[in-house]
Copies of this chain bind each other. A is one copy, B any other.
Amino acid sequence: MDDLKNYIIDKASHAKEAFKSLSSADTELKNAALLKMADTLMESMDYILDANSMDIAKGKEKGMSRALLDRLLLDEFRVKSMAEGLRQISSLQDPVGEVDKMWKRPNGMTIGQMRVPLGVIAIIYEARPNVTVDATALCIKSGNAVILKGGSEAMESNKAIVHVISGACEAAGLPKGCISFIDTSDRDAVNILMKLNKYVDVIIPRGSGSLINFVVQNSTVPVIQTGEGNCHIFVDESADMKMAADIVINAKTQRPGVCNAAETLLVHKAAAEEFIPVIAQKLFDRNVEVRGDKKTFDIIEKAGISKSGKLVPAVEKDWETEFLDLIIAVKVVDSIDEAIDHIYKYSTKHSEVIVTNDYMNSQRFLRVVDSAAVYVNASSRFTDGSEFGFGGEIGISTQKLHARGPMGLRELTTIKYIIYGEGQIRK
A176 within 8 A of B: no
Q: Chain B contacts of A247 at CB under 8 A?
A: 423, 425
Among B197, B254, B416, the residue within 8 A (CB) of A371 is B416
Which residues of chain A from 407 to 424 have a CB within 8 Å of any chain B CB? 414-424
Q: Chain B contacts of A317 at CB under 8 A?
A: none
User: A368 vs B423: C-alpha distance in the bound complex, in angstroms?
Assistant: 21
A417 with B378: CB separation less than 8 A? no
Q: Chain B contacts of A372 at CB under 8 A?
A: 416-417
Q: Chain B contacts of A371 at CB under 8 A?
A: 416
Q: Which residue of B lies closest to A254 (CB)?
A: B426
Q: Chain B contacts of A109 at CB under 8 A?
A: 378, 382
Which residues of chain A from 197 to 224 have a CB within 8 Å of any chain B CB? 197, 201-202, 216-217, 220, 222-224
A373 within 8 A of B: yes
Q: Which residue of B lies closest to A379 (CB)?
A: B425
Among B20, B222, B240, B378, the residue within 8 A (CB) of A222 is B222
Q: Chain B contacts of A28 at CB under 8 A?
A: none
Q: Chain B contacts of A111 at CB under 8 A?
A: 388-389
Q: Mark A363-387, 1 if CB is under 8 A from B, else 0.
A: 0001110111111111101110001
A23 with B399: CB separation less than 8 A? no
Which residues of chain A from 386 to 416 have a CB within 8 Å of any chain B CB? 387-389, 399-402, 404-405, 414-416
Among B23, B116, B366, B382, the residue within 8 A (CB) of A426 is B382
B105 with A389: CB separation less than 8 A? yes
Q: Which residue of B lies closest to A202 (CB)?
A: B401
- Copies, count: 2
B373 with A417: CB separation less than 8 A? yes
Which residues of chain A from 97 to 130 have a CB within 8 Å of any chain B CB? 97, 103, 105, 109, 111, 114, 116, 118-119
A217 with B220: CB separation less than 8 A? yes
Q: Which residue of B lies closest to A109 (CB)?
A: B378
Q: Chain B contacts of A368 at CB under 8 A?
A: 20, 23-24
Q: What distance in Å separates the Cβ of A378 from its nearest Cβ neighbour in chain B?
A: 3
User: A422 vs B400: C-alpha distance in the bound complex, in angstroms?
Assistant: 28
A-B contact pairs, 21 of them (CB 8 A): A23-B368, A114-B366, A118-B401, A201-B401, A216-B220, A222-B399, A222-B400, A240-B423, A243-B423, A246-B425, A250-B425, A250-B426, A251-B425, A372-B417, A373-B416, A376-B421, A377-B423, A379-B424, A379-B425, A404-B414, A405-B415
A contacts, CB < 8 Å to B: 20, 23-24, 97, 103, 105, 109, 111, 114, 116, 118-119, 197, 201-202, 216-217, 220, 222-224, 240, 243, 246-247, 249-251, 254, 344, 366-368, 370-379, 381-383, 387-389, 399-402, 404-405, 414-426
**Extra inter-chain contacts (15) besides given A373-B419, A404-B415, CB under 8 Å:** A20-B370, A24-B368, A116-B370, A222-B400, A247-B425, A372-B416, A372-B417, A373-B416, A376-B419, A379-B424, A379-B425, A379-B426, A382-B419, A387-B426, A405-B415
